[in-house]
Amino acid sequence: MHEQSLFASVPVHQHHELLQQLAGLTAMQPRHCLERRLIFKAYRKPGLAGRIGASQDLQQGDLQRLNKMLNGNMYYTQVVGPVSEADFGPTGPVDQDIHMVGMDDSKPSPSSYDYERQPWKLEFRDIPEAGTRSAVTSRLMSSATLPQGDVVQSMNAWGYHFTTEYVVEGDMFIHNDIAIFLHRVLHYPGGNELNVPRRQLPALKDMTLFEKSGSYVLQAFIIVQDGSNQETMKTASQHLFGLREQLKSAVLLEQADRLSLDTRAK
């Protein structure tokens, strides 16, 4: 699958107005979304590269392909889990100590959030294609549903380790085949210096803004099932350009800087 998108930065004072404009344009009410996003980074498993001797039964071509898969580019990948406002803790002092997790059952939980039943989706995005002639950000993507609950173990088994997590808050619109997501990044209070995902969520109003002025990112995207079909890819980017024209007086949708969306792990 391919994702084609355009981005814009929306200053906070424009947010309310833009929501209304988008609601008018798409003839739908905004769908408020909250997502936990866990960032995982691939790491090279020691020993895989040198295991040539143990694979006599593999054909040479297979071996090369396997090697390429295992030792090729490594990527950052995201695990996304939808949450709701009720999942966040109540306002006021909440015990955020991660080590208290085992005692959750014995004491009343501050919120209804149940980490063990949190659904997750693995979302992979390649670095945007270089040198495309059209002025949209086009990148290979793929997503897969993961088992509920703790994903770190499975991710570790696949060669990814947990890097950091944040929450994305925003509103979603659908305009014909274009999804429009107006969102911003929230950080957990007290930083992210834990090396496992949180099992409890703090109060939503205690979350801190990543961008201190509270600005939003507007992303308009189309997901194309068959990225090799030039015709559909072209149609998709033309639809995005159409939207850009319609929103021109409000925001300027642009192609994102390719390197800022670089998911390759160095």
Partner 1 sequence: MSNLTQEQIKVLEQSRQRLVQLTRSLGSLIASLNQSDPLPPWTSLQSQASIISNNLISVSDQLSDQRDLLSNLVAYPGPEYPGRTQANTLEQLLRTKLDPRVEDWVARGRAAGTEPAAGPSSNLSSDPNSAHQLLSEAQLAELWEWAPLEANQEARRRNWGGNFTLEEREAGIENVVTGLRRKLEDDDESEEESDGEEGEEEGDGMDVVGVQRKPGSAELEFRIAPHQPHHVQPFVPLDLILRHMTTGRMP
Q: Count residues binding partner 1 (CB under 8 A).
A: 41
Q: What residues between 201 and 240 interact with partner 1 by CB under 8 A?
A: 210-215, 217
135 near partner 1 (CB under 8 A): no
DSSP states along 46-84: TTSTTGGGG-TTS-HHHHHHHHHHHHS-EEEEEEEEEE-
Cβ of residue 135: shortest distance to partner 1, in angstroms? 15
CA distance 252 to 194: 37
Q: What residues between 41 and 70 interact with partner 1 by CB under 8 A?
A: 41
Q: Which stretch binds partner 1 (CB under 8 A): 63-71, 109-117, 197-205, 245-253?
A: 245-253
Helices (H), the chain: 12-26, 60-71, 152-157, 230-246
Whose Cβ is closer to partner 1: residue 185's or residue 203's?
A: 185
Cβ of residue 53: shortest distance to partner 1, in angstroms? 36
What residues does 222 pair with on adjacent strands?
A: 4
| Amino acid at the residue 59 | Q
On whether the CB atoms of residues 41 and 161 are closer than 8 A, the answer is yes
CA distance 205 to 186: 10
168 near partner 1 (CB under 8 A): yes
| Amino acid at the residue 66 | L
The two tokens of residue 209 are 């803004």
Eight-state DSSP code of residue 13: H
177 near partner 1 (CB under 8 A): no
Q: What residues between 6 and 25 interact with partner 1 by CB under 8 A?
A: 7-9, 11-14, 16-17
Whose Cβ is closer to partner 1: residue 87's or residue 165's?
A: 165
On whether the CB atoms of residues 227 and 125 are closer than 8 A, the answer is no
146 near partner 1 (CB under 8 A): no
Cβ of residue 212: shortest distance to partner 1, in angstroms? 6
172 near partner 1 (CB under 8 A): no
Which residue of 26, 123, 149, 166 would you call a contact of partner 1, by CB under 8 A?
A: 166
Dihedral pair phi/psi, residue 106, rounded to 5°: -80, -25
251 near partner 1 (CB under 8 A): yes
CA distance 53 to 262: 34
Q: Which stretch binds partner 1 (CB under 8 A): 5-13, 93-101, 143-151, 199-207?
A: 5-13
Q: Applying CB under 8 A, which residues contact partner 1? A: 7-9, 11-14, 16-17, 37, 39, 41, 76, 125, 163-166, 168, 185, 192, 210-215, 217, 248-252, 256-257, 259-263, 265
